[in-house]
A and B are shown apart, each in its own frame.
Chain A
Amino acid sequence: MNFLSYVISIAIFTILAQNIVFQSVFGFNIVVYAAQKRSRMAAFSLIIFITVFFSSMLSSAVDYFIRDNSSYYIYMPLVYIVIISFVYFSALYIMWRFFPKFYSRIKNYVHIAVYNCAVLGSLMINNIGNGFAEYLAFSVGLPLGFIIAGYLLLAAAKRLNSEEVPAAFRGYPITMVYAGIISMAFYALYEYTL
């Protein structure tokens, strides 16, 4: 129970204080693209959750052996891309074989949902000298943070693209301002230097 509560507390911390979209700014353009439609957001959330979770578990094993190598930072992206690709192709095969209807619905954007900064960034954040509990918590918390960010953008999408917003700000600019304000709201969890 202690292990579980520790994992849950780190996951909640990851969702709020280290939100992958609003604090680390990984995958912001992906979440904006996904938040245009509810069905797309749901599909992206599921794909990113599965990819990050399984990739993190695999990368925890790989990191254990090669983290101490001083040149690891140079070929870290290559290692992680190979891991993500393995998970990607395995998941594609399973979906094509056993869930063909679902596969036909998501095949247009599954590749964008997998190969993006949110997924690779999640693996890189997870790499910072963590034990298995932290890997597990981050692999759950980071995609959940993405989902929460997507929900917040989806909820406001109608207002941010409405005719009331000045034309110069409509769409992308005001979405950035909106994201900035939400990012600022997360600062309640930080201490300021006075």
Chain B
Amino acid sequence: MKTFPLSLLKPTTMPEVQEAVLYAAPGIGDTTRVRPVAGRSKTALHHAGDGVVVDLAGLTGITEYQADECTFTALAGTPVAEIERRLAEHGQSLPFEPPLAGRGATIGGTVASGLNGPGRYHHGGVRDFLIGAKFVDGEGRLIRGGGKVVKNAAGFYLHHLLLGSLGRLAIFVELTFKVFPTPRAERTLRVACASLGDALAALDRVRRSTTDPDAVELTPEGAVIVRIAGAADAIDARAEGLAAILGHDRATVVEPPASLSPVDAAAWWTGSRDFAWVSGPLAKVAVTPSRIHALDAALARAGASRRYGAGGEVAWVGWPGAWAELDALLLEHGLSGVALIGPAPADPMLGVRPDDAFLSRVRQTIDPRGTFRG
């Protein structure tokens, strides 16, 4: 039986990741677990248990980027911020605005945690922009799912099965994305409504309108923040139309719709992506607009801070208590969540867990001996 000289392995190449997995896989190396980490921006996902931590921060670099093609390939440990800088030189961006980029998030961690930022609402999420990936499975095999072209219906989408799996099925080592041109102009409007209920009504008007905003967020106090983006010549006219929709129900408006200054707008969206408004533990909860009202009341009673993103499709929760309490609250509401920042529980999933009927077969395929199991 092998023993481990180190509990922390730092591979810098794909074969070294394979070696690290084989070194630790139960029944091959030792009976222990492997935990991939990189940027350490999502601390609640880093429960090490009895496992070997594989730090992918050294597996870094953009290996292919052709701006004409609107695709790039990067190694898993590449910081999102580095990728965004490179794309910006060519007027392109990752439209889903990966969260925590300002706090060290890597592209591999973004995919493994399946997280989306404000741009999710209009353009799509990480699942819509990831077009292929290489990963190391629980047996140390290097496997590719998808490819490097934007459209590909050949074979099964192995990379999708791992997206959002929190490093509990495999280690991503290389990711290929499609990207979009960054809009030439943008404008952010804010309206303050009297209550969350009034804000949800404003949100519903926006979601059903043809104004086509690319990001929409809500605060529990009743503010709705909307960003529109597109051709520079059209922004003023579109902002006017949006303001009319946001402020339509005057009786419920406390502060009428107004454009934020570019500095304030940038601060809002960067703060959103990096969760500057939360100081303690943070969780993500998947919701839909119709579920927000009841959830918010329960979260308020528990003393949680919160914001709603992606046009009311996600709740970000600053949780003051133990994870087990939030787990119970979400179960009661029939919702699913995941702990992201804060103390690392053995199982970071919260509330309703994914149905195991299909997932267990995926696990038996990709990680049959439980190398990555929680």
Asked if chains A and B come from one complex, the reply is: no
